[in-house]
């Protein structure tokens, strides 16, 4: 019998095998959208379905949050990708022969991320994340320009170092679990490791957490481990930038949080909270100032992703039911908003024929509909009401202020600095005289509208069912 959670993994992998054999771009794009839609439907079914804890699979309130976001953004990205990549073929930026593998790799990447999210085995989770990393390396270099190949190479080197350190930390967790759980699969099973955490050697757990934080922190894009992220976002195809920023960073964060739950289960082990708070704040403030120096629009929002991932890690470092709830909510809002921004940036790159901010002006005159969508998306990521990002940031700041008033000043300062930078860039892009030639936009507006409506709705009203779901997930984090 095939369970629902297995469809979340099987559908993308089966679709990848089918897509390799489809030479037509249009047929491949349709199959890609249909497969992503079926995966999203399976992910939604899991939200109200039964929970599973087995030797190799786990479905609980915590990872369902990530699975739902992963499948939703994967579906909307496939819709955007269908029209966007078609334009790249027409303009000659991508040869049609590459597209068969583009769609297959997209599905394989989504399947591998879902493997990491569902796996109840620390080894299987690591393998899934490693496969997803290798696939995205190839996709970042898809344009085959010197810049994209350099970005892919840098991503490969730094991500490989990070994932190798995470692998060493995973081995240490396995060694720490052996005395309590024995050799083999039990010592690699999340649900058993969390229950036996108090019986493990705290010294090994401390050492493991350092390796895991550096390893998975590299994948999350935390400063100073972030060097791969701006290049990968700037040089890869825009749909891949949306997936990297909205999904892959979340999967690496999920792995780190799972290990945090194990480490925190031993009272004598290192407290992960202060370390995560420090790295989160460093990333937030550093990225906020770096926003002022960006000249490429995709690189600009890559640093915005570093800023927001820093805030999310800070919230989870603070811990407690309310801070964890706020962190989960902000992660969801950031994924939806930032992927929507990259969709809009893809439209802008088509409209203006460039990613250089200095050459993108007067969008309100040349492409008014696109200007409105982009302005709303940027205001949403800046945390302006009534969008959902405002609600999550407000929760994080007020929770911190209630517990550590002086500490709350640091994230508030970082968010204000970032707000100023993004507002300054927004004014230049939207207003003024249109620079250069304007081209028609062929990418679909549907994904942008969907994401903006979801983020706006979350800011105005969160259904009681959603609040209860996020609350239960926050409680599992401890």
Which range, of 35-39, 54-58, 423-427, averages the lowest pLDDT? 54-58
Residue 202 inside a domain? The answer is no
Residue 308 inside a domain? The answer is yes
Residue 336 inside a domain? The answer is yes
Domain that holds residue 362: 271-478
Which range, of 6-10, 20-24, 76-80, 120-124, averages the lowest pLDDT? 20-24
> Distance between alpha carbon 146 and the CA centroid of its chain, in Å?
26
More confident residue, 293 or 283: 283
User: Over the stretch 61-90, which tens digit does the pLDDT of each residue have?
Assistant: 888 999 999 999 999 999 999 888 877 777
The mean predicted confidence, pLDDT, of the chain is: 89
User: Over the stretch 220-264, which tens digit does the pLDDT of each residue have?
Assistant: 999 888 888 888 888 888 888 898 888 889 999 999 999 999 998
> Distance between alpha carbon 383 and the CA centroid of its chain, in Å?
18
Kindly state the average pLDDT of the residues 177-199. 88
Residue 343 inside a domain? The answer is yes
Q: CA-to-CA distance for 286 and 340, rounded, in angstroms?
A: 24
Kindly state the average pLDDT of the residues 327-343. 95
Domain count for the chain: 1
Assign 291 a pLDDT band (cuts: 50, 70, 90).
very high
Say if residue 110's pLDDT is above 60: yes
Kindly state the average pLDDT of the residues 417-440. 82
Give residue for tokens 């031993």.
Answer: 266
Say if residue 437's pLDDT is above 70: no
Residue 86 inside a domain? The answer is no
Residue 409 inside a domain? The answer is yes
Residue 417 inside a domain? The answer is yes
Q: Which residues contact 310 (CB under 8 A, 6 or more apart)?
A: 222, 223, 279, 280, 281, 282, 283, 284, 285, 286, 287, 414
Which range, of 245-259, 346-360, 376-390, 408-422, averages the lowest pLDDT? 346-360
Instruction: Identify whether the C-beta of residue 36 lies closer than 8 Å to the C-beta of residue 75.
Output: yes
User: What are 465's two structure tokens?
Assistant: 């069912």
Judging by beta carbons within 10 Å of its beta carbon (0-12, 13-18, 19+), is residue 392 exposed, middle or buried? buried
User: Over the stretch 112-136, which tens digit does the pLDDT of each residue have?
Assistant: 999 999 999 999 999 999 999 999 9
**Cα–Cα distance list, 226 to 69, 103, 232, 306 (Å):** 23, 27, 11, 8
The residue among 7, 42, 26 whose CA lies nearest residue 83 is 26
Assign 32 a pLDDT band (cuts: 50, 70, 90).
very high
- Number of residues in the chain: 478
> Distance between alpha carbon 465 and the CA centroid of its chain, in Å?
24
Residue 377 inside a domain? The answer is yes
Q: How many CB atoms lie within 10 A of CB 332?
A: 24
């Amino acid at each position: 019998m095939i369970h629902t959670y297995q469809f979340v993994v099987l559908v993308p992998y089966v679709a990848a095998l089918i897509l390799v054999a489809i030479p037509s771009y249009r047929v491949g794009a349709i199959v890609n959208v249909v497969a992503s839609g079926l995966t999203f439907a399976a992910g939604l079914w899991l939200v109200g379905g039964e929970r599973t804890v087995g030797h190799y699979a786990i479905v609980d309130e915590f990872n369902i949050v990530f699975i739902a976001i992963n499948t939703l953004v994967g579906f909307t990205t496939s819709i955007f990708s269908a029209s966007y990549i078609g334009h790249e073929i027409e303009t000659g930026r991508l040869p049609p022969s590459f597209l068969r593998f583009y769609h297959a790799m997209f599905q394989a990447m989504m399947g591998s991320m879902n493997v990491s999210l569902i796996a109840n085995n620390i080894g299987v989770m690591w393998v899934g994340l490693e496969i997803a990393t290798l696939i995205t390396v190839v996709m970042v270099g898809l344009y085959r320009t010197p810049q994209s190949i350099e970005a892919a190479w840098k991503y490969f080197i730094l991500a490989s170092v990070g994932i190798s350190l995470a692998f060493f930390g995973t081995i240490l967790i396995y060694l720490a679990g052996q005395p309590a759980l024995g050799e083999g699969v039990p010592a690699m099973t999340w649900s058993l490791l969390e229950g036996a955490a108090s019986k493990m050697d705290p010294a090994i757990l401390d050492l493991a957490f350092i390796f895991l934080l550096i390893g998975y922190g590299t994948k999350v894009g935390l400063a100073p481990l972030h060097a791969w992220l701006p290049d990968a976002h700037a040089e890869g195809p825009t749909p891949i930038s949306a997936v990297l920023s909205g999904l892959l960073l979340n999967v690496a964060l999920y792995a780190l949080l799972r290990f945090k739950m194990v480490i925190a289960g031993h009272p004598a082990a290192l407290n992960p909270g202060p370390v995560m708070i420090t790295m989160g704040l460093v990333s937030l403030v550093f990225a906020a100032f770096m926003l002022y120096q960006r000249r490429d629009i995709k690189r600009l929002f890559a640093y915005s992703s570093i800023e927001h991932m820093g805030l999310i890690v800070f919230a989870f470092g603070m811990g407690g039911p309310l801070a964890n709830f706020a962190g989960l909510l902000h992660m969801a809002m950031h994924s939806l908003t930032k992927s929507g921004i990259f969709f809009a940036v893809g439209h802008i790159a088509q409209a203006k024929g460039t990613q250089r901010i200095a050459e993108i002006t007067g969008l309100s005159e040349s492409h008014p509909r696109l200007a409105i969508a982009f302005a709303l998306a940027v205001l949403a990521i800046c945390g302006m009401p009534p969008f959902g990002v405002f609600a999550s940031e407000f929760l994080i700041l007020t929770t911190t202020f209630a517990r550590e008033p002086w500490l709350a000043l640091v994230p508030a300062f970082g968010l204000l600095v970032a707000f100023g930078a993004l507002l300054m860039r927004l004014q230049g892009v939207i207003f003024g005289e249109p620079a250069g030639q304007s081209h028609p936009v062929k990418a679909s507006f549907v994904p942008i509208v969907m994401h903006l409506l979801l983020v706006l709705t979350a800011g105005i009203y969160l259904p009681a069912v959603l609040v209860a779901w996020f609350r239960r997930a926050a409680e599992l984090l401890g």
